[in-house]
């Protein structure tokens, strides 16, 4: 155990130096970094904003159930099923049938069933059926169907929230799923969350619709930005899905900020055809049910690009372009919890954590030197190396350090010393019976290895479980604790053991005080 080849020694210190190099990167100039890696400070240390968002899937369920109307009616006609009193509700369809049992067989058939598209793939039914009185039936989404809609909406919402926040330029945001309907957003360093809340609160459902000449059938009455009430056709000419890009711009003629947009090939065809057929009419640009602007079509627009004008400030134009680029949210998002952590509180947390670490570190160093003399100094050097390596690994991973994470580092200090205490106490026992000092140290390291490994592996398992099932601060504690255990074993069984072997082999003929 005390014999090291030159290659082993070289590898031990090269690994140590490599990881230590990354810990130094935390002190480099941020404006001109050598390598853009560092340990990020979490919300509780840096200050910032915490938002907990919840998706409202009811509008999406209503939209999805309405999308089943035409396929359902086609299925009924195709199979000669007479229906009446067809009612479309927010979450279900209710109608009367002449043959309920036949319809039931059709709805849950695995052959050519476009109403339940997940049957073949998952052997599950998207739709469910309730038989009411007087041959009335109720078609609604099953639990599986609702879960599928909800999960899809949540994943899409997380992706769009991430795009919007990244476009704003917020540093090191944390965006995570919480439960089956919630999204956690942590924005370190952000003092005013109002703009982010406004951006995340808009679904950004954009569509282009013609303004009707009179109150004809199939119109919505919407109000424009200047307060004008317009009758807008329900028929959507083109939606925001056809947008490739949107950028804030400035109109030199009107001296007003605008948003210029570019369409994909299909959108350009739709837009070109609509503007060609409706020269002289007005085209309403509707965002989340409100008219942003309703310009007149002076000439056909076939270039695949256009401009949205309104009474925007440049910030509003920038935000609108950002919303359109990131895409529409599938469902509205509600802010269910909001917290703002001031930087002063974060600074106090850092000071308290560092003070605890320094005091604990000094007490451990003094105890180890008093108890084990020169070998206590070796353990202390290994402890310092352990902390440097721990910070280096966190830097490589670009981990976010939180207050519980600092607690994990403090606990690592105690565990690192504990490993060396177990080893040295075992060596003491061997020195009582062994005449050879080298042999006593060699056996001591060998026999203590199992105990040290067992103690650290069980703690590592606990850290893994905390990381897997914990959330937020608990994960931060688990990460630093888990990495600390690995660096502890490395420093104790490679660095400290090599330094110990140098001392023992040098004094193998003399006496050693331990």
pLDDT tens-digit map of 49-69: 888 999 998 988 988 888 888
Percent of residues, the chain, with pLDDT higher than 90: 16
CATH number for the domain running over 205-329: 3.30.1360.200
48-55+147-200 placed in CATH 3.30.70.3220:
yes
Q: Pseudo-torsion of CA 81, 82, 84, 90, nearest 10°?
A: 10
* Ranges in the chain annotated CATH 3.90.1150: 59-145
CATH value of 59-145 in 2.60.40, 3.90.1150, 3.40.50, 1.10.3470: 3.90.1150
Lowest mean pLDDT, pick from 161-175, 231-245, 334-348: 334-348
Taking the C-alpha atoms of residue 3 and residue 433, their distance in angstroms, rounded to an integer, is: 22
* Ranges in the chain annotated CATH 3.30.1360.200: 205-329
**Residue range 212-266, pLDDT digits in tens:** 876 666 788 888 777 788 888 888 888 888 888 888 888 777 778 888 888 888 8
- Using left for φ > 0, alpha for ψ between -120 and 50, and beta otherwise, residue 48 falls in left
Mean pLDDT confidence for 103-111? 76
Mean pLDDT confidence for 390-397? 92
B/e letters for 174-193, b = 16+ CB within 10 Å, e = fewer, are bbeeeeebbbbbbbbbbeeb
Cα 494 to chain centroid distance, Å, stands at: 37
Residue 386: per-residue pLDDT: 93
6-46+342-506 placed in CATH 1.20.1640.10:
yes
Name the nearest CA neighbour of 200 among 366, 392, 6, 56: 56
**Residue range 2-32, pLDDT digits in tens:** 778 889 999 999 999 999 999 999 888 777 7
Residue 345: per-residue pLDDT: 60
* Ranges in the chain annotated CATH 3.30.70.3220: 48-55+147-200
Cα–Cα distances in angstroms (integers) from residue 282 to residues 231, 278, 428, 467, in the given order: 11, 8, 93, 57
Taking the C-alpha atoms of residue 226 and residue 195, their distance in angstroms, rounded to an integer, is: 23
Please tell me whether residue 187 adopts helix, strand or coil conformation. strand
Residue 113: per-residue pLDDT: 60
* Ranges in the chain annotated CATH 1.20.1640.10: 6-46+342-506
Lowest mean pLDDT, pick from 245-249, 277-281, 317-321, 472-476: 472-476
pLDDT band at 491 (very low <50, low <70, confident <90, very high): very high
């Amino acid at each position: 155990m005390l014999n090291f080849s030159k290659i082993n020694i070289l590898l031990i210190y090269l690994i140590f130096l490599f990881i230590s190099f990354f810990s130094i990167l935390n002190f480099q100039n941020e404006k001109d970094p050598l390598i853009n890696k560092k340990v990020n400070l979490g919300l509780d240390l840096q200050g910032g904003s915490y938002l907990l968002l919840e998706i409202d899937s009811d509008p999406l369920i209503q939209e999805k159930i309405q999308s089943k109307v035409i396929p359902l009616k086609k299925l009924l006609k195709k199979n000669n099923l007479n229906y009446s009193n067809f009612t479309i509700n927010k979450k279900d369809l209710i109608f009367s049938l002449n043959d309920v049992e036949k319809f039931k067989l059709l709805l849950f058939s695995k052959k050519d069933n476009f109403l339940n598209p997940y049957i073949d793939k998952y052997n599950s039914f998207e739709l469910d059926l309730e038989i009411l009185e007087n041959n009335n039936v109720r078609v609604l989404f099953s639990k599986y169907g609702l879960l599928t809609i909800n999960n899809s909406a949540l994943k899409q919402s997380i992706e769009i929230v991430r795009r919007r926040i990244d476009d704003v330029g917020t540093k090191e945001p944390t965006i995570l799923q919480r439960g089956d309907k919630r999204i956690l957003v942590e924005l370190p360093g952000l003092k005013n969350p109002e703009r982010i809340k406004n951006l995340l609160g808009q679904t950004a459902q954009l569509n282009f619709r013609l303004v009707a000449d009179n109150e004809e059938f199939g119109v919505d009455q919407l109000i424009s930005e200047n307060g004008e009430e317009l009758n807008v056709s329900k028929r959507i000419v083109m939606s925001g899905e056809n947008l490739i890009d949107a950028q804030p711009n400035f109109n030199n003629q009107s001296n007003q900020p605008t948003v210029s947009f570019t369409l994909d090939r299909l959108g350009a065809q739709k837009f070109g055809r609509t503007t060609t057929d409706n020269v002289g009419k007005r085209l309403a640009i509707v965002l989340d049910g409100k008219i942003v602007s309703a310009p007149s079509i002076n000439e056909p627009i076939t270039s695949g690009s256009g401009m949205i004008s309104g009474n925007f400030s440049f910030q509003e134009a920038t935000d609108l372009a950002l919303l359109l680029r990131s895409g529409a949210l599938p469902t509205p998002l509600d802010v269910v919890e909001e917290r703002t952590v001031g930087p002063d509180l974060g600074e106090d947390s850092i000071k308290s954590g560092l003070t605890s670490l320094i005091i604990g570190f000094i007490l451990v160093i003094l105890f180890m030197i008093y108890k084990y003399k020169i070998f206590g100094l070796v353990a202390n050097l290994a402890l310092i190396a352990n902390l440097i390596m721990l910070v280096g690994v966190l830097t490589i991973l670009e981990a976010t350090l939180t207050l519980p994470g600092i607690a994990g580092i403090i606990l690592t200090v105690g565990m690192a010393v504990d490993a060396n205490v177990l080893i040295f106490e075992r060596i003491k026992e061997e020195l009582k019976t062994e005449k050879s000092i080298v042999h006593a140290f060699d056996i001591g390291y060998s026999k203590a290895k199992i105990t040290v490994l067992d103690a650290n592996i069980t703690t590592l398992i606990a850290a893994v479980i905390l990381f897997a099932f914990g959330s937020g601060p608990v994960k931060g504690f688990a990460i630093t604790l888990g990495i600390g255990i690995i660096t502890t074993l490395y420093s104790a069984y490679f660095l400290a053991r090599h330094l110990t072997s140098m001392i023992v082999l040098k004094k193998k003929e003399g006496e050693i005080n331990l």
